[in-house]
Structure 1
Amino acid sequence: MDILQRTRLFRRRLAAKKTSQLLSTASKSDSTTRESSTPSGSSNVTITTSPSSVSDSLVLDYSALTAPCDYIRSLPSKNVRKKLIDAFNVWFQLPDDATTGIENIISDLHNSSLILDDMQDNSLLRRGRPATHCIFGNAQSINSATYMVLSSCLILQRMPPPGLGVIDVLLNGLRELSLGQSWELKWKFHLSCPSVQEYTAMIDGKTGAMFVLLVRLMHRFSQHNLSLPELDRFATLLGRFYQVRDDYLNLQNDSYSEQKGFCEDLDEGKFSFPIVSCFNSDPVARDIIIGIFRQNGNSESTLSKNTKIYILGLIKRSGAFEATRELLDRSMHELRAALSSLEESTGQKNPGLRAILTALSMF
């Protein structure tokens, strides 16, 4: 073996010896740390880590998460759902903490749906102000809208338990809301107009399910044995009236246009009730409007004012606006009859609900 080979062998042995010493030192240090972290007589072992990796780490606050939530809550609102809870409480007689909890749950779910709805419809305005996603972007808005659903579950979880199954009431309500919305989105994407029956089933989920959820939560926390089927029917009828009224106002009300934009539903290519009614009665108008929706969907732009006025003329000539008003009149008659039945079964008049129906009927 020459001198060069001996030198290389010596260096390898020296490096191996140093590595062995380092490993031995590290093993002893780790053993000492584990032993000192384990309480006497305990079988649990706690492994400590360096302060810089945990205790010194920055704790994030909730400002980025809640900013879109705070913004949507700050927008002007008629507080219809809060008024409904107050009115129903004439019969349910819930304590203040339960009432407040349900108000917060319904508010968070409603506002979450508004954030998502505006993104799905490419809406630029909400109640006369920029839609949430126009300020915070789609990604952050989706994240915060999801958080609001989680928040509603946490609120319910922390409320005094009214019995088994109350979480199921909330989850079933969320499922119905998602189901209704899914069909409206599918019809719009595929330019497939639903029948009147399909449209009604959709709004029973999209809009009616929120009112039904409100009633069922109050029913679970109430000590009074009220008729849930009657309450469900009233809430469902209210949801139908509320959505058809909203569809009508979107195309026929000036103040509504100031809040959401002129005939915004036409920009979205939405199959609202006047459109569904028009398509069923006038095949020529149907083909024209479908063609406009298809071209506008391809360009992802808003329709011109003249195009919207032209579509409104087609809807009017088909008799769809008149048919929508007739449906609203019949629906309000059904609602008032259902309310009278509830007042009779409970033995107590409900002026709050009557005032809400009166306000909704004036448009």
Structure 2
Amino acid sequence: MPSYDWLPKEATIWEVCPRDGFQMEEEWIPTEDKIRLIRSFADAGVKHIEVTSFVHPKAIPQLSDAEEVVKQVQDLSDVSFRALVPNLKGAERAINSGIKKLKLMLSATDSHSLSNANATVEEAQAALLPIVELANKKNVAVSGSISVAFGCPFEGKVPLERLLAILSYYRAMGIKEVSLADTSGTGDPNLIYEVLGNMRKEYPDFTFSMHLHNTRGLALANSLAALQQRVTIFDSSSAGLGGCPYAPNAAGNIASEDIVHAFHEMGIQTGIDLDRLLEAAEEVKRTVGHDGGSFLLKAGPNSNLHGKPSGQVKLG
């Protein structure tokens, strides 16, 4: 029997459906529905939620109600809320709305950065410092991110040296918590393991998290490779919704119910009630009219047993 001593006992799940999941929906989701769904995640025991993005309303109209959404969930005091901010204006809006943790936006390649932020990586990096300075002044936490970290739809595989250089820039700003996004779903378990191994070797004091898209069906396998590198923080989206508007053929994130189910089956606890999480995913699907490729919404958890067949089976 193989040994699985490398598996952690616990993992942290960040629900990103209210931001990454909803941003790809063209039909307007009423603000009250967004709030209701966020509350359903909290009711399921989700303690970490990326609640919205303070991007310009013209860029992503679906999230134009960011301030109101944040305002209406402030009573969920046992939930940690995070918001993605693309620039200083967005950071100001987020902080004024009551957000206590910001997530910065940065791409690994110039091509994706120009598409996503209308700036080169170097230009985008320079624009991050004022955000960090403001957050420090307001006593607001900041985490970093690297989009297309495991492959760019325009440039292909990203050189490790470029990723390490971005981490060096984050360190210079005092940021040691970084989310690594497989934005286009081009990563594979071997690549994930190798890149994380090199990052942990060069930056052992950093806390890395994974933001995995399931474009080619490898998100869960990639999460296992990350676990092997002692990464225990994962983004996921209810019902598997999501995708990047600025990445061709973008697909949804790994479904929250799928990764929680898999982790629980392996003895990795998340503190989330799977049955209630699955109910929340069903509600997400009903609200938007579809799911993004959730396996549990199709098959249910392993604990759902079927009735035994009755009578004798006739052969021939």
More helix by share: 1
Bigger RCO of structures 1 and 2 (CA < 8 A, at least 6 apart): 2
Larger Rg: 1
> Same fold, TM exceeding 0.5?
no
| TM-score of the pair, normalised by structure 1 | 0.28
**TM-score, normalised by the number of residues in structure 2:** 0.31
